[in-house]
Amino acid sequence: MEIEVELSRIVINEQSDSQLIVLTELGGTNRCLPIVIGIVEIFAIDRRLKGIEPPRPMTHDLLASVIDHLEAKIDKIVINDLQDHTFYAQIHLRDKDGCITKVDARPSDAIAVGVAQKAPIFVADHVLTETAGQ
């Protein structure tokens, strides 16, 4: 089962390479999922949330442009697993014929690409349950 979450907090610490995003469960028990990500990804997410356009496409912008040119859209982002303290995610792409393709991704990259399209974010229930006590 997948639980819908929202990106509720971004913590940027320019003195560190490790940054933090917090995903919070919608309409439920308000469980939170903190994920440590890199500085490049945190700035990409922050920039896209603020609608700031770089003079040239950055990597996440390039991927979003490729998806758009293929006439596909991001249906949803799913953080689907946790193994050895590493989160796994998938970008669910819907093509113009309605077919879904699941693409393996790091959660930070998936969120950075999906945030500009306001793609919904989901977390597998077992991942939220495993991390609730941490």
pLDDT, one tens digit per residue, over 15-74 is 888 899 999 999 877 789 999 999 889 999 999 899 898 899 888 889 999 999 999 999
Superfamily of domain 2-131: Bifunctional nuclease domain (3.10.690.10)
Whether the Cβ atoms of residue 17 and residue 3 lie closer than 8 Å to each other: no
End-to-end Cα, the chain, rounded Å:
21
> The dihedral of CA 55, 61, 63, 66: what is its sign?
negative
- Cα of 117 vs its chain's centroid, Å: 11
pTM to 2 decimal places: 0.92
- Domain range list for the chain: 2-131
CA dist 99 → 5, 67, 94 (Å): 24, 14, 5
